[in-house]
Amino acid sequence: GFEKNQWPVALEPDVAFGRACKRGQQRNAGWLVRKVLQSEEKTTYRIVSETVDKDNEDVDYAREDRIMLYRKTNDITVEHGIPPAMEIKRIYKETLGTVDNWRFIDFLLRQTKEMNSTQLREMGGIYFVPINHEPKLLSIEAALRALSADSTLYMLPIYKDTQSSNNLQAAFNEDFHKELTGVAQELEDLVNSDSTRTSTLQNRLTAYKALRERARAYEDLLTFKAQDIHVTIDQLETKVKTALTK
């Protein structure tokens, strides 16, 4: 149900290797995994044991193994084969080419924008999605179920009543104003930069038009007028047009 360019991106060899090394260190107390080389040929991590020397109030380090990813073949080579290195190799093989939770979260956040969603909690995780996007939301749920058995997307219907409408209107206003604050700061930086291209500013006009359409969609849905939001967007557009004439 999604265009190919919208699909979650599977882990590339370099990313899968880096994450495997990080997870390998997290799972093995007393071991450090450090990148020591990244070249066109390979990426190398050194695996080091860390031992606390209580008598001398110090820490002893010993180089124990080396694990390498060769770019041409995407194969992993382990120098000595100690358990932490072999676990990293196993994690790499299991995760290479898969979509992990971080990649799926990135996909999900992009889709919330596509569906004109409103964030209902400051730290994210809960969004209001207009009912006309229900088919896409069901497709996202099916994709998540197929890709990650450990993650769940919960969908709860919101019934049309005065209290729900007021709560959604308040959430929409708060979420949208936060977004506009960030957009305004970005524009300020662009206008004040000598290296900003004309095309970059013109692209912002297209982005502001999309913001306005999103606001109108919620006005229709919740039957209210977001006049202050439209005024802010007007100001942003005017600032861009002024900058383009300089």
Which stretch of DSSP H or E encloses residue 43? strand 42-53
My answer on whether 187 and 235 are in the same domain is yes
**What pLDDT score does 6 carry?**
77
pLDDT at 48 over 90: yes
Q: Of 117, 147, 177, which residue is a domain's last?
A: 147
My answer on whether 86 and 120 are in the same domain is no
DSSP-based three-state secondary structure for 179: helix
Q: With beta carbons less than 8 A apart as the criterion, state whether 89 and 76 touch.
A: yes
Identify the residue whose tokens are 């080396």.
Answer: 66
H-state helical runs in the chain: 13-27, 83-95, 101-114, 134-147, 162-192, 198-222, 227-244
Identify the residue whose tokens are 């995994």.
Answer: 33
Nearest CA among 110, 106, 157, 151 for reference residue 129:
157
My answer on whether 23 and 91 are in the same domain is yes
For the record, the structure tokens of 246 come out as 């300089």
Whether residue 4 lies inside any domain: the answer is no
Q: What is the CA radius of gyration of the chain?
A: 25
Whether residue 89 lies inside any domain: the answer is yes
Whether residue 231 lies inside any domain: the answer is yes
My answer on whether 21 and 64 are in the same domain is yes
For the record, the structure tokens of 20 come out as 């495997």
- What is the rounded distance in angstroms from the CA atom of residue 49 to the CA atom of residue 64? 7
State which residues form the domain around 130: 100-147
The count of structural domains within the chain is: 3
For the record, the structure tokens of 197 come out as 């291209």
Identify the residue whose tokens are 């093989």.
Answer: 93
Whether residue 153 lies inside any domain: the answer is no
My answer on whether 179 and 134 are in the same domain is no
**What pLDDT score does 122 carry?**
64
CATH number for the domain spanning 62: value is 3.30.160
Main-chain dihedrals φ then ψ at residue 152, nearest 5 degrees: -135, 140
> If you average pLDDT over residues 182-192, what whole number do you get?
91
Whether residue 195 lies inside any domain: the answer is yes
Q: What are 222-240's pLDDT values in tens digits? A: 777 888 899 999 999 999 9
My answer on whether 57 and 121 are in the same domain is no
Q: What are 16-39's pLDDT values in tens digits? A: 999 999 999 988 888 999 999 999
My answer on whether 177 and 198 are in the same domain is yes
Main-chain dihedrals φ then ψ at residue 176, nearest 5 degrees: -70, -40
Whether residue 198 lies inside any domain: the answer is yes
For the record, the structure tokens of 12 come out as 């590339």
- What is the rounded distance in angstroms from the CA atom of residue 3 to the CA atom of residue 153? 21
Q: With beta carbons less than 8 A apart as the criterion, state whether 200 and 190 touch.
A: yes
| Angle (CA) 147 150 155, round 5° | 85
Whether residue 69 lies inside any domain: the answer is yes
Nearest CA among 8, 3, 5 for reference residue 100:
8
- Give the least confident one: 78-82, 116-120, 196-200, 203-207: 116-120
Q: Of 114, 147, 180, which residue is a domain's last?
A: 147
My answer on whether 73 and 111 are in the same domain is no
- What is the rounded distance in angstroms from the CA atom of residue 227 to the CA atom of residue 222? 14
Q: With beta carbons less than 8 A apart as the criterion, state whether 19 and 101 touch.
A: no
Q: What are 92-141's pLDDT values in tens digits? A: 999 998 888 788 888 888 888 888 888 776 656 678 888 888 888 888 88
Instruction: Tell me the whole-structure pTM to 2 decimals.
Output: 0.56
My answer on whether 170 and 232 are in the same domain is yes
Whether residue 154 lies inside any domain: the answer is no
Q: What is the mean pLDDT of the chain?
A: 86
Q: Which residues are bridge partners to 59 per DSSP?
A: 52
